[in-house]
Amino acid sequence: MILHQIEALKAIGVEEVVLAINYQPEVMLNFLKEFEKKLGIKITCSQETEPLGTAGPLALARDKLVDDSGEPFFVLNSDVISEYPLKQMIEFHKSHGGEASIMVTKVDEPSKYGVVVMEESTGKVEKFVEKPKLFVGNKINAGIYLLNPSVLNRIELRPTSIEKEVFPSIAAEQKLYAMVLPGFWMDIGQPKDYITGLRLYLNSLRKNSSSMLAVGSHIVGNVLVDETAKIGEGCLIGPDVAIGPGCVVESGVRLSRCTVMRGVRIKKHACISSSIIGWHSTVGQWARVENMTILGEDVHVGDEIYSNGGVVLPHKEIKSSILKPEIVM
Amino acid sequence: MESSEKVVAVIMVGGPTKGTRFRPLSFNTPKPLFPLAGQPMVHHPISACKRIPNLAQIFLIGFYEEREFALYVSSLSNELRLPVRYLKEDKPHGSAGGIYYFRDIILEDSPSYIFLLNCDVCCNFPLRDMLEAHKRYGGMGTILVNKVSAESANQFGALVADPVTNELLHYTEKPETFVSDLINCGVYVFTSEIFDYIQDVSIQREGRANLRRVSSFEALQSATRNLPTDFVRLDQDILTPLAGKKRLYTYETMEFWEQIKTPGMSLKCSALYLAQFQLTSPHLLASGNGTKSATIIGDVYIHPSAKVHPTAKIGPNVSISGNVRVAAGVRLISCIILDDVEIMENAVVINSIIGWKSSVGKWSRVQANGDYNDKLGITILGEAVIVEDEVVVTNSIVLPNKTLNLSVLEEIIL
């Protein structure tokens, strides 16, 4: 997920990425180190020892974000998937001369979100309305920001919300501008949304760079297979499947609407749909994994097991079927 | 044993108004012909009868149409080289009334002993040992009995036997309170004297009907009074009155025994019979390790006309009937696959019965938790049900001719 963002940043000439992180930094760093070389971009990490909200981490990483140039910096929320028109965002930021720019996206049901009320022509943000009961607008914060270094002066090193505290204060000074995000956007903090996000992302790949998608008689729809993954005979894969590096998919396997993370092994004749298979997990022969089953890292599903919507925490072994959605601790 | 002592066996098969609990598997096939371990249910007691010395004839008595049994009975006669006849009752007579109705035919060869077996019990039918015991006891009849849990005893005919002589001392059919944990297995051997007792009951009843007099005793027994004179139940009308009169004895089996009332139980009984094949008919059990033929785990029966792909993995407790096609990468565990079914690539079937001519699509899954006492513990697909590709059917019963294109969980699909 995060790689898409890093690639987009690299594409517009960003040289350094700071990850504000509070969960398993080693895992994340090891993973990203190899892309550091591949993409030629510097990746560093700023780790929270306590949760600091959405703005606090920026204060924590202050030294890494401020240099003498006074150039603005991007802030991206990692559980959002969208197209990244970052170049247009820089142009927009320069044109309005304000202190901060945010991307907004149009949604069908604004009452579920925090709505950004803005001047349509200039994009100047007037105010934020949290979960409005009456219609005030249909644009919401898309989690992609371009900020001047001066914004950091508004943030103290304590748990702070950038959406609820920092932006409203900038807007009050009429220095916050919003740009409408073209193309798709999705908050994929929830697994269900993640699966949908994957579909949208693969759709956009189909339009923009379809050569990356897998082809063949065993492929249906949009499928992304890492070049280091192995696929056995008699499989049927797709639509909307992503298979990570080093995965082994044995013969007779059926995959649809799912993400298979790095290092996973799917054994013979298994069938997986609408699910996420975590790093280095295995799915047994003739197992059936479906309906928003989420396997954490290093989860092992036994042969012939059925999982209907099981959410399985890391390092578990599943030896009996899960007939109805539940969390396996 | 004297060579002149002929034996005949009578198997009560019931009729279409019975066995309604066996739906949807009894809509088009008489329950006694439903396959367990690849053989019709009634075939198992018949095979056991075949091993009785001096067996002269086997009779099947029921009120199914003759044509439903004609083909089976004629092929069976050839196979066993033994006369097998189907005798159709014009109406239900009760199990004692049934044999009485056909007494002239049954007694044609003047048999010394008459076995009477209910078709819907599953056990190893230790008929030879029973006959030996019966001769030792010197009574009119010997009943096969079995110990069950105290909680379940009230679903059967509960009885008390003398621990030394094995005489039947007391008999109550489906008692409301606990009587005994020893129960009637539905397998009997009688001398021809049994017909005299049945006649007595019949005549008494006729006399009562003619008198049309209601004594206070009869008022209490109104259920009996209303029965037709030729309807005689073996349990209430013969066993209960004769208990404690040194005419009836018991023979206890320590082996498996089950009653086959529901489709779910048929899967359990199929497993018991498959295990029994290890001893009686090992040639009927399949083997294979996945090189030339499919990988076989545990006890599996595969009909010679069925085609099973070598990459399939089958067992334990699977029986596959005629003309079934099992495609590559299929997994079958604890199931009965009936005639002309097609199981497509990579499909999985667990704890289920797949009805005649049904099809199970690619990567689809028909499964259940396998609890035989739970109404939906075994998934049943009726005849000609289509499960489309990738559909999951869990703990469900599907009536004939349905097409499932969406997954179902714990449903009865009408």
Give yes or no for a contact between B117 and B59, defined as CB atoms under 8 angstroms apart.
no
Q: Name the residue facing B350 among A252, A253, A304 (closest C-beta).
A: A304
> For A39-53, B240-254, B256-270, B344-358, which range has the lowest pLDDT when averaged over its residues?
A39-53
Q: Report the C-alpha gap between A59 and B335 in whole angstroms.
A: 64
> For A221-225, A265-269, B233-237, which range has the lowest pLDDT when averaged over its residues?
B233-237
Angle at B59 between CA B57 and CA B61, to 5 degrees: 170
pLDDT at B95 over 50: yes
The per-residue pLDDT for range A88-100, each reduced to its tens digit, is 999 999 999 999 9
Give yes or no for a contact between B25 and B267, defined as CB atoms under 8 angstroms apart.
no
Pairing between strand B121-123 and B257-259? antiparallel
Q: In A, which residues are within 8 Å of B392 by CB distance?
A: 288, 290, 306, 308
Q: Report the C-alpha gap between A208 and A183 in whole angstroms.
A: 12
Q: In B, which residues are within 8 Å of A251 by CB distance?
A: 329
Read off the pLDDT of each residue in A94-110 and give the average, rounded to a whole number: 90
| Nearest residue in A to B409, CA atom | A323
Q: Copy the structure tokens of residue A64.
A: 């890494």
Task: For an interface test with B, give the residue of A257, A271, A303, A324 to mutate (most B CBs within 10 A).
Answer: A271
Res A8: pLDDT: 87
Task: For an interface test with B, give the residue of A286, A289, A304, A305 to mutate (most B CBs within 10 A).
Answer: A286
| pLDDT confidence bin for A23, thresholds 50/70/90 | low
Q: Copy the structure tokens of residue B388.
A: 């489309």
The per-residue pLDDT for range B137-196, each reduced to its tens digit, is 999 999 999 999 988 888 899 999 999 999 999 999 998 888 899 999 999 999 999 999
| Nearest residue in B to A251, CA atom | B329
Name the burial class of residue A26, with classes exposed (0-12), middle (13-18) and buried (19+) by CB atoms within 10 angstroms of its CB. Answer: exposed
Contact B392 A254 (CB under 8 A): no
Task: For an interface test with B, give the residue of A269, A290, A307, A323 to mutate (most B CBs within 10 A).
Answer: A269
Q: How far is A239 from chain B (nearest CA, A)?
A: 14
Q: What crossing angle do the helices spanning B43-50 and B66-80 adopt, rounded to 10°?
A: 30
Contact B394 A306 (CB under 8 A): yes
Q: How many CA within 13 A on the CB side of residue A124?
A: 11
Q: Name the residue facing B363 among A254, A285, A324 (closest C-beta).
A: A254
Q: In A, which residues are within 8 Å of B350 by CB distance?
A: 304
Contact A254 B390 (CB under 8 A): yes
Q: Name the residue facing B331 among A234, A304, A323 (closest C-beta).
A: A304
Cite the DSSP H helix spans in chain A. Answer: 2-11, 25-39, 56-60, 62-65, 86-96, 167-172, 191-208
pLDDT at B4 over 90: no
DSSP state letters, B211-234: HT---HHHHHTHHHHTS-TT---H
Give yes or no for a contact between B190 and B140, defined as CB atoms under 8 angstroms apart.
yes
**Segment holding A19, helix H or strand E:** strand A16-21
Contact B390 A273 (CB under 8 A): yes
Q: Report the C-alpha gap between A86 and A94 in whole angstroms.
A: 12
Query: CB under 8 Å to A97, separation ≥6 — which residues?
Result: none
Q: In A, which residues are within 8 Å of B329 by CB distance?
A: 234, 251-252, 268-269
Exposed e or buried b per residue across A203-225, where buried means at least 16 C-beta atoms within 10 angstroms of its C-beta:
ebeeeeeeeebbeeebbebbbbb
Q: How far is A284 from chain B (nearest CA, A)?
A: 13
Res A60: pLDDT: 85
Res B1: pLDDT: 47
Interface of A with B (CB under 8 A): 234, 236, 251-254, 256, 268-269, 271, 273, 285-286, 288, 290, 304, 306, 308, 321, 323-324
Q: In A, which residues are within 8 Å of B328 by CB distance?
A: 234, 252
Exposed e or buried b per residue across B291-304, where buried means at least 16 C-beta atoms within 10 angstroms of its C-beta:
eebbbbeebbbbbe
The per-residue pLDDT for range A156-205, each reduced to its tens digit, is 888 888 988 899 999 999 999 999 988 777 777 677 778 888 898 898 88
Give yes or no for a contact between A19 and A32, defined as CB atoms under 8 angstroms apart.
yes
Contact B329 A268 (CB under 8 A): yes
Res A156: pLDDT: 85
pLDDT at B3 over 70: no
Give SS3 for B277. Answer: helix
Res B17: pLDDT: 74
Name the burial class of residue A152, with classes exposed (0-12), middle (13-18) and buried (19+) by CB atoms within 10 angstroms of its CB. Answer: middle
| pLDDT confidence bin for A24, thresholds 50/70/90 | low
Read off the pLDDT of each residue in B188-208 and give the average, rounded to a whole number: 88
pLDDT at A27 over 70: no
Give yes or no for a contact between A72 and A149, defined as CB atoms under 8 angstroms apart.
yes
Cα dihedral A261/A267/A268/A270 (nearest 10): -60
> For A128-142, B52-66, B100-114, B305-319, which range has the lowest pLDDT when averaged over its residues?
A128-142
Q: In A, which residues are within 8 Å of B363 by CB distance?
A: 236, 254, 271
Contact B367 A286 (CB under 8 A): no
Give yes or no for a contact between B382 and B401, defined as CB atoms under 8 angstroms apart.
yes
Q: Copy the structure tokens of residue A31.
A: 């993973």
Contact B409 A323 (CB under 8 A): yes
pLDDT at B210 over 70: no
Nearest partner of A179 among A67, A87, A247, A58, judged by Cα: A87
Q: Report the C-alpha gap between A154 and A152 in whole angstroms.
A: 5
Q: Which residue has the tokens 């505290």?
A: A165
Q: Which 8-state DSSP code applies to residue B238?
A: I
Q: How many CB atoms neighbour CB A308 within 10 A?
A: 20
Give yes or no for a contact between A196 and A76, defined as CB atoms under 8 angstroms apart.
no
Q: How far is A180 from chain B (nearest CA, A)?
A: 40
Q: Name the residue facing B348 among A234, A288, A323 (closest C-beta).
A: A288
Q: Report the C-alpha gap between A30 and B18 in whole angstroms.
A: 70
Give yes or no for a contact between A327 and A311, defined as CB atoms under 8 angstroms apart.
yes
Contact B392 A288 (CB under 8 A): yes
Query: CB under 8 Å to B161, separation ≥6 — which residues?
Result: B145, B167, B168, B169, B182, B249, B250, B252
Nearest partner of A177 among A137, A129, A118, judged by Cα: A118
φ/ψ of residue B210, rounded to 5: -65, -40
Q: How far is B333 from chain A (nearest CA, A)?
A: 9
Nearest partner of B271 among B256, B253, B250, B292, judged by Cα: B256
Give SS3 for B182. Answer: strand
The per-residue pLDDT for range B386-408, each reduced to its tens digit, is 999 999 999 999 999 999 999 99
A-B CB pairs within 8 A amount to 54
Read off the pLDDT of each residue in B280-304 and give the average, rounded to a whole number: 94
| Nearest residue in B to A308, CA atom | B392
pLDDT at A37 over 80: no
Contact B331 A308 (CB under 8 A): no
Cα dihedral B271/B413/B357/B383 (nearest 10): 80
Q: In B, which residues are within 8 Å of A288 by CB distance?
A: 348, 365, 392
Range of A40-54, A173-187, B262-276 with top mean pLDDT: B262-276
Interface of B with A (CB under 8 A): 311, 313, 328-329, 331, 333, 345-346, 348, 350, 362-363, 365, 367, 369, 390, 392, 394-395, 409
The per-residue pLDDT for range B7-30, each reduced to its tens digit, is 999 999 998 876 678 889 888 889
Res A147: pLDDT: 94
Task: Provide the percentage of residues in chain B whose pLDDT is more than 70.
Answer: 94
| pLDDT confidence bin for A309, thresholds 50/70/90 | very high
Query: CB under 8 Å to A175, separation ≥6 — which residues?
Result: A98, A99, A100
Read off the pLDDT of each residue in B225-243 and give the average, rounded to a whole number: 84
Give yes or no for a contact between A285 and A302, defined as CB atoms under 8 angstroms apart.
no
Task: For an interface test with B, give the residue of A250, A275, A288, A305 to mutate (most B CBs within 10 A).
Answer: A288
Res B206: pLDDT: 75
Q: Report the C-alpha gap between B161 and B250 in whole angstroms.
A: 7
> What mean pLDDT value characterizes chain A?
89
| Nearest residue in B to A233, CA atom | B329
Fill in the amino acid letter for B10.
Answer: V
